[in-house]
A and B are shown apart, each in its own frame.
Chain A
Amino acid sequence: MYLLQGIWVTIKLGLIGWAMALSLGVLIGTIRISPWRWLSSIGTAYVEIFRNIPFMVQLFFWYYAGPMIFGESLQYRINAIIGLNYYVAIIALGMYTASRVAEHTRAGFAAISRDHHHAALSTGLTHPQMYRYVIIPYALRIIIPPLTTEFLTIFKNSSIAMTIGVLETTFMSYKIDSETFHGLESTTGACLIYLGLGLAVVKLMGTLESRLKIPGMIGR
């Protein structure tokens, strides 16, 4: 029963975090290749900072130090929010995964040859239109396979949220152990749950991939 509650939280963490990571990650990946230096360096700094600090440290920083940044009076009000750890976990997960999505997005852009840019411009599209209608949809379809991996990773990383007390699957398996001493059974059960989740994600993304694949590219 505990485990079932845990699955639901894991799925929610993963999906909401993923929605956030995807939108933020694509945005940052795009500004990293923008011609304006200051804008692209913001993107680079974001990616370097979030990728080079372990996720758990980020989580602890946002959870313990985050509220303190806002000063004394606001700090107590933020700490009083019910389910704060849950929100912090989603935000941290989203921001961390966004940096990884951004890297894949950039690689996707790099995979598109310059000819496409020239072709789009020569048909009379403006620069923003070229990105909006040609380059970004194109790049997004190229990076579906690496994004599948990230989607799997976000569920796995959501298990780290247990360290700040979010009641997800791993936390629940630990809780079962502390109440009944059946740690082996509960953790094995949790392993099976993650395997099932992983299979579901692979299945889903596989369907998406074959639906969206560009004819003649990413042949499998």
Chain B
Amino acid sequence: MFDAVGRNLPFLMGGFWVTVKLMFFALAGGIPLGILVGLGRISRNKWVYYPVTFYVNVIRNIPLILVIFWFYFVMPIIIGRPLDPFPSAVISFIIFEATYFGEIIRAGYQSVSKGQIEAGYSTGLTYVQTTRWILIPIALRRMLPSMITQSIVTYQDTCLAFVIGLPEFIRRARIVDTMEVRSIQLFGFVAIVFFITCYIGSVISRRFEVKEKEGG
């Protein structure tokens, strides 16, 4: 039933590996940048707040596919030669996903009530201690489920690198399909692989949500 998939398995799995690498780099860059964006969004300095808010609102309103394209076109102008699809895609993903992670971090920070912070100060903790022992643990626990969900979304989004010709999972499935004409099994296989991996991710995310509720 999956004969065409079987014949081309190394080629397809190579594409899957590209997808995983893409996700890894996107997260490795997107989460740290997202933390900075999140901090910028809660900053009281308006020279930080307004530019960051502008960046977040613009990027979040544009489809990812267009960010990828735009970056692919802008790069040759800046550095004078076309960038390879892979680094170009990675940078667009980082720029795009950082806005989403930033908003999650902002929401997590703002969900910690003022009373808890003040309670921390009133027991004699310093600012650093309050942040380290009260703010960060609570906010982090609240953010974790959405962070995992957003990581899954990032993983699903990596397939959009298809449009600038990156030979990732779907591009390769498409290449094999033009030779073998076995669309049902090829795209079915891609769908199953994505389903299984994402489902595992969502189960993990739900586990953390339950834990958070138990912790009160």
Contacts and interface: CB of A to CB of B under 8 A. Distances in A.
Interface string B43-58: 0000000000000001
Contact-size category for A: 35 or more
B209 interface: no
Contacts of B66: 159, 170, 173, 187, 190-191, 194
Q: Provide the main secondary structure of the chain B interface.
A: helix
Contact of A163 (B163, B183, B190, B191): B163
B24 interface: no
A61 B58 contact: no
Interface in A34-63: 48-49, 51-58, 60-61
Interface residues of B, number: 35
Contacts of A155: 63
A160 B157 CA distance: 11
A160 B163 CA distance: 9
Contacts of B188: 61, 65
| Residue of B174, B187, B198, B199 contacting most chain A CB atoms (<10 Å) | B187
Interface stretch (B10-18, B27-35, B70-78, B132-140): B70-78
B194 A54 contact: yes
B63 A60 contact: no
Contacts of B163: 162-163, 174
Contact of A183 (B58, B69, B198): B69
B162 interface: yes
Contact of A170 (B69, B157, B170, B186): B69
A61 B183 CA distance: 7
A48 B69 contact: no
B110 interface: no
Q: Which of B69, B184, B199, B202 has the most CB of A within 10 A?
A: B69
A69 B159 CA distance: 24
A57 B62 contact: no
Contacts of B184: 65, 68-69
Given A162-B163, A163-B162, A184-B70, A53 B183 contact: no
Given A156-B62, A159-B65, A170-B63, A57 B170 contact: yes
Interface of B: 58, 61-66, 69-70, 72-74, 77, 156-157, 159-160, 162-163, 170, 173-174, 177, 183-184, 186-188, 190-191, 194-195, 198-199, 202
Interface of A: 48-49, 51-58, 60-61, 64-65, 68-69, 152, 155-157, 159-160, 162-163, 170, 173-174, 177, 183-184, 187-188, 190-191, 194-195, 198-199
Given A61-B183, A159-B66, A194-B62, 14 more contacts: A52-B199, A53-B194, A56-B160, A56-B170, A57-B159, A57-B191, A65-B188, A160-B160, A162-B65, A163-B163, A170-B65, A187-B73, A194-B61, A195-B58
24 contacts: A51-B198, A53-B156, A53-B191, A54-B194, A56-B160, A57-B159, A57-B194, A60-B190, A61-B188, A64-B183, A64-B187, A65-B183, A65-B186, A65-B187, A160-B63, A183-B73, A184-B70, A184-B73, A184-B77, A187-B70, A191-B62, A191-B66, A195-B58, A195-B62
